[in-house]
């Protein structure tokens, strides 16, 4: 045996293959001991005899007559067929791309929804605490809102969501944050943060209540956890689905996802629809939501920026205003 390569002649005589190197005697390989590599386009075939080496040769119909009992698998046959047809290769590549896009667009959100629905509350609290710890280091400052107004808004919000799904988990927190600006956001365990800057921008408590109703919609539909899972790897999501119930694999990925990503427009529309329906059921006009959206849009035009602009990932604001005003008018 040697690792060197040599040119050889190969021929068949009965049930034996003869392999001969120039200047040497032919070596007999019984056909029963010879294997052949599968066909794959125009790639060379390999004849192997265990313990004796291998012979590389161009593909030939003759090889199929020499070793007729060695049938390729269906997968190997399909691979060979594709390799020999450029159009098929292009088509297979296009199908692969389409399937990948479809999985990212539809499959990942579906997985995220299923996983989020079964996420233990302890995991939601742990992940939310990580996000809050990061925000407190840089962006959160003590609120200047009076304790009386905080209590009044919390009481009205509690009345608004009483009896709603997951209402017992919702808590409202007030923080000052010049870097974030006028903003409100819900985190996976039900904590809803509203900035002093947003409170100052509102004309009345109904406008603030409408924003809180929107954030309540995010929590009811588990958008925070769904966002975190979607923004993490698909492997993390499937790992959670099939065994990692503790959510430990999300511990690093989730805070960054929640801090740096906005909810999808589908999530925002869902939260808007929930807020408008909730306001109407509780006797608060959705017109308050339309007024708040106009004010936020104007503020964003005047002072663009901030860590996460409240309208940055939302559907077009005029569309949302029209929906809120139509609901207020009883349409």
> Does residue 215 have an active-site annotation?
yes
- 3-state helix/strand/coil string of the chain: CCCCCCCEEEEEECCEEEEEECCCCCEEEEHHHEEECCCCCCCCEEEEECCCEEEEECCCHHHHHHCCCCCCCHHHHHHHHHHCCHHHHHHHHHHHHHHHHHHHHHHHHHHHHHHHHCCCHHHHHHHHHHHHHHHHHHCCECCCCCHHHHHHHHHHHHHHHCCCCCHHHCEEEEEECCCCCCCEEECCCCEEEEEHHHHHHCCCHHHHHHHHHHHHHHHHCCHHHHHHHHHCCHHHHHHHHCCCCCCHHHCCHHHHHHHHCCCCHHHHHHHHHHHHHHHHHCCCCCHHHHHHHHHHHHHHHHCCCCCCCCCCCCCCHHHHHHHHHHHHCCC
Catalytic residue chosen out of the listed positions 124, 164, 207, 215: 215
Q: Active-site positions? A: 215
């Amino acid at each position: 045996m040697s690792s060197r390569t040599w040119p050889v002649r190969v021929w068949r005589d009965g049930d034996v293959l003869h392999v001969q190197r120039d200047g040497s005697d032919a070596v007999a390989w019984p056909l029963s001991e010879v294997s052949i590599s599968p066909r794959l386009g125009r790639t060379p075939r390999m004849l192997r005899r265990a313990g004796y080496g291998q012979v590389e040769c161009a593909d030939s119909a003759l090889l199929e007559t020499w070793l007729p009992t060695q049938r390729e698998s269906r997968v190997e046959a399909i691979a060979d067929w594709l390799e020999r047809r450029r159009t098929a290769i292009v088509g297979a590549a296009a199908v692969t791309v389409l399937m990948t896009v479809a999985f990212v667009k539809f499959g990942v959100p579906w997985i995220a929804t299923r996983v989020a629905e079964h996420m233990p509350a302890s995991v939601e609290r742990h992940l939310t605490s990580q996000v809050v710890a990061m925000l407190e280091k840089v962006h959160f400052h003590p609120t200047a809102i009076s304790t009386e107004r905080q209590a009044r808004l919390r009481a009205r919000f509690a009345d608004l969501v009483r009896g709603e799904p997951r209402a017992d988990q919702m808590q409202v927190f007030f923080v000052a944050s010049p870097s974030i600006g006028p903003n409100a956001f819900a985190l996976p365990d039900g904590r809803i943060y509203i900035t002093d800057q947003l409170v100052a921008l509102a004309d009345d408590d109904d406008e603030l209540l409408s924003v809180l109703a929107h954030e309540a919609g995010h929590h009811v539909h588990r958008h925070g956890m769904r966002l975190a899972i979607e923004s993490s790897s698909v492997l993390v999501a499937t790992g959670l689905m099939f065994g990692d119930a503790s959510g430990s694999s999300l511990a690093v990925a989730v805070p960054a996802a929640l801090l740096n990503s906005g909810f999808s427009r589908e999530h925002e529309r869902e939260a808007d629809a929930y807020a408008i329906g909730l306001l109407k059921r509780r006797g608060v006009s959705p017109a308050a939501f339309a007024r708040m959206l106009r004010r936020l849009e104007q503020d964003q035009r005047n002072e663009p920026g901030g860590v996460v602009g409240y309208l940055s990932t939302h559907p077009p604001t005029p569309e949302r205003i029209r929906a809120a005003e139509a609901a207020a008018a009883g349409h």
